[in-house]
Structure 1
Amino acid sequence: MSIFKACDIRGIYGKELDELQAFEIGRAFGTFIDGKNAVVGGDARISTPLLKEKVIEGLLLSGCDVIDIGIVPTPTFYFAKTYLNIYGGVMVTASHNPSEYNGFKIAFGDLPVTEEDIKKMENLVKTKNFKQGRGKLIDRFVLNEYENYIQSFFTSINNSLKVVVDGGNGIAGPTAVNLFRRLNYEVETLFCEPDGTFPNREPNPAVEKNLEHLKRKVVEVNANFGVAFDGDGDRVAFVDENGKVIPSEKIIIIFAKYLFKKYGPGKIIYDHKCSTIVEKEIRKLGGEAVREKSGHAFIKRSFLQQNAVMAGEISGHYFFKELGGDDGIFSALLMGEIINTLGKKLSELANEIPNYYITPDIRIAYPYDKEKLFEMVKKEFSEYTIDTLDGVRVIFPNGWGLIRLSVTEPIITMRFEGDTPEDLIKIKELFKEKIPTLKKLI
């Protein structure tokens, strides 16, 4: 699988991605934005400093003035691009991927990158038809301004609330801890020292096994809730006071309820993989739920173009109108505000939302022809409604099943939902029966 993905550039450092490629990607992006200025940041991975140095070198030789903001969370990078009025930007990060990965998140103009933009950059790297120039490098520390900006959306709490912050040894931990403490929370910390080897857990908070330490710690210290960040701080997972992980669908609904009361009902953009509970509950609240293709850039583009109140993915990305984008740290603070303002436990907020019957996001290496798989699903389930927004989604009278390609890894992802537990089992078994290659994999 190419390092040039649908929404960003990503691969295993030293095997799929190295310093020469970083330099050429810098040249390609500098050429792509025609030598306009660019902001560059990086996460705490071991390979980041070298890759960051080389991508900057490439940008400078393509005529871009580069503002280096150092090692910061990805939300700080997005903030810096707007705050400093910079046209383009490169964030050196592999986000939630394991420590051996690294990559580049690309930003320019007002909207997220498209698959076509990434393909154009890949072609520039191949042809090496780079723009020539000599830009200048400026160091600019913006983390303090970012923290002040995020704090400005909140007021100090009056109640005594305790939060456990699991930084996962990524870059977001220290900033999140600092902001919670500024707002008068009692904070317990887990793995908040940045360490690019991620020695305590993998940096993906959407996988429940990575939250075992947090679940135990919340109960042990009698905290009101816990938050866990990914490697670069744009994603977050939530654990209630009982040490139970709250599914992302319920988090989207909790946020939407609160924001609708604050600003009035509006549009909510949600991930194609989410349970139908999101659409049902948003409608009940008087809002409009818009289902979108999975992937950060797809969700963000729809969120911005439709002027939505917020957007959410099951991966833990939450986007807010106030920010014009996603931010795991802002999301964590907003949840604290909701718990404080409403005077309810996180478990109570979650329990107000009806239960639903859905599998986790099933992620598997599929060793056979993936296009043939999709064609087989369409053929075998032709009597039902087929949705091809993202992969193949089969819609039954009592649920649905989805198979799609991951935009970040060389795998397929699947999810199944039923109106009842029995319906869920039947739908999953039907897929195994009709698609023999899936039988041993799910």
Structure 2
Amino acid sequence: MIGTPLNPREASLIPCKSLLHKSHGDGAGSGDFAIYHSLCVLQVSISLKKVELSVGESKFFTCTVIGEPVSLDWYNPQGERMVPSQRVALHNEGFRSRLTLYNAKIEDAGIYRCQASDAQGHTQEATVVLEIYQKLTFRDVRSPQEFRQGDVAEVVCDVSSSPVPVVSWFYNNVEIIEDTEKFQLLQNNNLQVQRVTKADEGVYRCEARVEARGEIDFRDIILVVNVPPVVSVPQQSFNATADYGESVTFTCRAYGSPEPDITWHRKGVQLQESEQYVMRARGTTLTVRNIQHDDGGSYTCKASNKAGEVEHELFLKVFGEDTFFYWVSSSLTAGPADDDTSPTPYPEPSQPSPHCTESQSPPQTESQSPPQRAIARKSDRAEDRPRARSSPIV
């Protein structure tokens, strides 16, 4: 008896069943009959042939086998047999195997193989092509971004994708299309603003596009320009005089952006609000109360903000407890020069001096004879002491 096996084409139609062999009689009157022979041909398929996946996304693939496999394995693009890990999960159930990739990375791209083997050592496999792309991703794009007036400002827009994105900048909804004296588009996609001023403040838009995918995204960035403080001190506050036990007020105004903080210092120590030191209008004014001899000297007004700080020194002179000054004129209260002699007032000068110190003399005219002067003296009796006036000096 001679058996005739089916040809391979016929066998492929019955991939994993007992195959029928045609048999013929031996010529002794016996008829033809059939013999079944067990033969299994593996067939492997994957649900997807090509997959595009964004960085950070996850995906699973299902491999199905027809036949009688004894093993079913997955291989990565480097040809290594895959095993479960933190980002890889494998689940086999019968003639199926599921591969799951979590949190995809650029280096995960490539061809993945599902390979089945039977008891005879025959193998069949199927493949899937995995393409990984990076979506438009803005990394740590801060807003607002602050710069000092007059500096060269570089507005940062850190954006990436695969393929590389095309980046455009807009200011006041108008695209900055080329380099100018004010703006320059840098190779790293940042925008450079020359000699930045308050007029350059506003909202800048960084827009990124991936032409191949029609993907677009943007970030709005607020640009802030900080201006260093400038101090303005009224002329009468540069130097001041005050009587023992009285009060004096200094004024120090500061301008800048953001609004400067004003502090007062004396002998290197910052002054704090107290009964002696009174500060008003956010530190703009400092009043020194109940002045004593050791309160005389310099006081420092310091203004500071994000852009810098500046300071200005002011001076206070304190008159002695037994010393008083006066003009012999309508603008000065006169005191007795001698116990029995009254002073002769000066004629009103055309431009009276607004200041008086121990070393200064009052204004005179040609008609005055003999010339009079400001008198500093110690009174014999407390009730005879005229009250001195606070007067600024230069």
Normalising by the smaller structure, the TM-score range is under 0.3
Task: Judging by fraction of residues, say which structure has more helix.
Answer: 1
TM-score by length of 1: 0.16
If asked which structure has higher relative contact order (CA below 8 Å, sep 6+), I would say 1
Task: Judging by fraction of residues, say which structure has more strand.
Answer: 2
